[in-house]
Amino acid sequence: MEHKNRTLSLSIVSGKGGVGKTNLSLNIAYALFNAAQNTLIVDCDLGLANLDVMLDISPDKTLNEILDDDALAHDIIYKLENSGLGLIPAASGVSDLLDLDEDQQMQIIQRLESLLQKYHFLILDVGAGISRTVRTFSQMTHKRVVVITPEPTSLTDGYALIKVLYTRQKVKDFYILVNMVESEKEARRGFERIRAACSKFLNLEVNYLGHVRNDPIVLDAVRKQRPVMQFAPRSTASRDIMQVADTLIQMRAEARQYIADTPPLQMGEPVT
């Protein structure tokens, strides 16, 4: 039969901005790579604190080039550490991608897919909020990681995002990652509030992915433009991130059959 997929795709989303999506995307990818899992991160965000800035790199090709017939698809991947950790930087105007017709969106999906053979994980760093860009990308992946913090606004915005994605784009498989907490207990409390709301008002069960504690060293790493996993591998934040990566590895193992039968990226419902 046709080739079987082995890449688990995740989009990293949040209702409220600034909750740590880009940091977590990068560092989870780094932790996965340390655990011998090849990971490709695609920057799908137009925000200011982009992945290339966080790493002090200036790649010359972006997601836009993937539509370019002449571009060798593999050339658009920026290899971090010369390794199985790859990055595709944000397109200069991701909103351009939304003006594309369905055939062209399909083309992007197929070209990305053709790059994935050696990757265990694909991570889309999607922007905050519920814009069309966000909904287009976050419905493409197998699963969605919703980053929240214990702040009430982050919880309500996180719930609002899940509601829109579930009711309008018909996607499920939400995994809540609680960032910037003082303790696991605080994370579980935050998760419980969003879980209860989804269960009661949407009749939807969401899952707990993990937590990352508030750690000032994350800011030091950002200032040094290095992943905290590399800058301070034994810090509190790095240890929590390692645990999240371990959970994802287990999730991929448990979903092996589903992943084999499901393309890593799909069009989904029309985004209006």
Ligand X SMILES: Nc1ncnc2c1ncn2[C@@H]1O[C@H](COP(=O)(O)OP(=O)(O)OP(=O)(O)O)[C@@H](O)[C@H]1O
How many residues contact ligand X, by CB under 6 A? 22
Q: How far is the CB of 57 from ligand X (least distance, A)?
A: 16
Fill in the amino acid letter for 164: V
The DSSP bridge pattern shows strands 85-88 and 78-80 to be antiparallel
Nearer to ligand X, 66 or 221 (CB): 221
Q: How far is the CB of 270 from ligand X (least distance, A)?
A: 25
Q: Where does the chain show beta strands of DSSP type E?
A: 8-14, 39-44, 78-80, 85-88, 121-128, 143-148, 174-181, 207-213
Exposure string of 169-194, with b = 16+ CB inside 10 Å and e = fewer, is: bebeebbbbbbbbeeeebbeebbebb
Q: How far is the CB of 150 from ligand X (least distance, A)?
A: 12
Please report whether residue 18 would count as binding ligand X according to CB under 6 A. Answer: yes
Which one of residues 6, 17, 106, 266 is an interface residue with ligand X (CB under 6 A)?
17
Q: By C-alpha distance, which of 40, 269, 21, 12 is closest to 132?
A: 269
User: Across the strands, what pairs with 39?
Assistant: 85, 121
Which of ligand X, Mg ion, none does 136 bind, CB closer than 5 to 8 A by kind? Answer: none
Q: How far is the CB of 29 from Mg ion (least distance, A)?
A: 14
**Token pair for residue 211?**
């937590």
Please report whether residue 215 would count as binding ligand X according to CB under 6 A. Answer: yes
Nearer to ligand X, 56 or 69 (CB): 56
User: Across the strands, what pairs with 144?
Assistant: 11, 174
Please report whether residue 149 would count as binding ligand X according to CB under 6 A. Answer: no
Residues that bind Mg ion (CB under 5 A): 21-22, 47
Q: Which residues bind ligand X (CB under 6 A)?
A: 14, 17-23, 45, 47, 49, 127-128, 179-180, 212, 214-215, 218-219, 222, 237
